[in-house]
Amino acid sequence: MIKNQKSTWTTTHLGVVVNPTSSKGKAKKMWPDIHKELKKNFKKISFYFTERKRDGFVKSRKLIEEGCNTILVISGDGLINEVANEIIKSQKKIALAIIPIGTGSDTAKPIYQSMQAKLKIKDFIRIIKKGDLQVYDVGKAKYYTTKAMDTREERYFVNIASVGITALICSKVNKSSKKLGAWSYAWSCCQTTISYSFPPTLYTIFDQKDFPTVENKQKGKEEKKKEIEIEIKKEEEIEEEEEEEEEEEEKEEEEEEEEEEKGEEEEVEENEKEKEKTSQIGSHWGMEEKYDISPTQKKKIALFAMGIGTFFGGGMMVCPKSVVNDGYFDCCVAPSVSLKETIQLMIQMRSGSHIKSKGVSYTRGKGVKLELPKSIWKLSEKKRKRELDSYRIELEGEDVGFLPAKFEVVPKALNIIVYKIEN
Ligand SMILES: Nc1ncnc2c1ncn2[C@@H]1O[C@H](COP(=O)(O)OP(=O)(O)OP(=O)(O)O)[C@@H](O)[C@H]1O
């Protein structure tokens, strides 16, 4: 959903970034026709083709330096994210325009949702020239880029960030050739759902604001707090049991392989040191001082999604109530359930009806902190790295890193040229 906050924008110098590999080369094929139309409508145009992954950052920086006041992305969600990051970082008023030619193209869906017919190149160019500008909030994510947790990165997102099964699916889709187009998601979805381990995750929502549902109104604040406390206790009991099991497993392994024993002990010591390092960083996220904190919850989750926008995974309405400039993330937390229920949940996501399902929590917040359970540090490095696959983060469909991580809303940070129904 988009709340009306529009102004009109005149493009004086148009910059264009094209991903020639997007949607199996569709953007490259369409470029000569698009370029011809652009030349008819804009006096000054600069354009670049991206040559490799992350090249969108470099090419959009060049366009900003050349003085473009609108940058048009001809591609899918991944390149939109790269260009949006450079526009935000430049702190200049530069409009983002999109011709969505991606496998998923989820970011652009709400922008063009009110259009009934399939858009033609001429339609997109007319929209860009008309320049109806919509101000958007963006999310700012900070996370580890490696499983070794030696490097961190900060990156903005315009649409959705998620952790859990979806992030693992994204990593698999992006490693695949995407030959199957939209079916790539479905195929990786099936493979991942069958093997996913639903690890316990700690999450804290800052400045939480629940949606005014009948259920939420009836529950007093105290009652809710009690519920959470009970839940945390239950989860702690589960984790204690799991820890015991893991310890037993480790012991067995140690007995079997005396050689490995020494190495493992050293590793655990190393892990403890790393844990200290990581949790120290975790305690200095700088969120606690800034916002009201809701109690940290520990749950085995299938998914935690934060949305400025609505869609992910090639058309799934994971955050159906999101408003792009209300200053909040919509936060959707789906619990760990059976394989059958997980598939049902994914089907419901196509219409957004999953938010009414039992166990799904749907709320809003200005910030989110997601952390690893302590038990992960008791695992050997090999096992821990394997387990970290379930703690991946995806932004705009790009598999970018791992927990622990923090996410904050940056209000009204980006201007996008959108479609507007003509009166
Ligand atoms: N020339 C290139 N060669 C290889 N990868 C590229 C190239 N240009 C861009 N990329 C990378 O391709 C990835 C996917 O791009 P993009 O998201 O735009 O297309 P898509 O995957 O078809 O669409 P969607 O994300 O909507 O499914 C991005 O990570 C981007 O950095």
Digit-coded pLDDT (tens) for 244-299 = 766 776 676 666 666 555 655 665 566 666 555 554 445 556 777 788 888 889 99
Mean pLDDT of 158-187: 74
> From the alpha carbon of 56, which atom of ligand 1 is closest?
31
Digit-coded pLDDT (tens) for 27-73 = 899 999 999 999 999 999 999 999 999 999 999 999 999 999 999 99
Q: What is the ipTM of this complex?
A: 0.94
**Residue 259 alpha carbon to ligand 1 centre in Å:** 45
**Residue 357 alpha carbon to ligand 1 centre in Å:** 34
pLDDT at 423: 35
Digit-coded pLDDT (tens) for 373-391 = 888 888 888 888 888 988 9
**Contact yes or no for 283/371 (Cβ under 8 A):** no
Which pTM was predicted?
0.83
> From the alpha carbon of 102, which atom of ligand 1 is closest?
23
Q: Whose Cα sits closest to atom 15 in ligand 1?
A: 78
Residue from 422, 423, 418 nearest 107 by CA = 418
Which residues, judged by CB distance below 6 Å to any ligand atom, belong to the binding site of ligand 1? 19-23, 50-56, 75-79, 82, 102-105, 397-398
**Residue 73 alpha carbon to ligand 1 centre in Å:** 11
Q: Residue 420: pLDDT band by 50, 70, 90 thresholds?
A: low
pLDDT at 2 over 50: yes
pLDDT at 275: 58
**Residue 101 alpha carbon to ligand 1 centre in Å:** 10
**Residue 238 alpha carbon to ligand 1 centre in Å:** 41
pLDDT at 165: 83
Hey, which of 53, 82, 98 would you mutate to test ligand 1's pocket, going by the most ligand atoms within 8 Å of its Cβ?
Answer: 53
Residue that is written with structure tokens 């193209």 in the block: 105
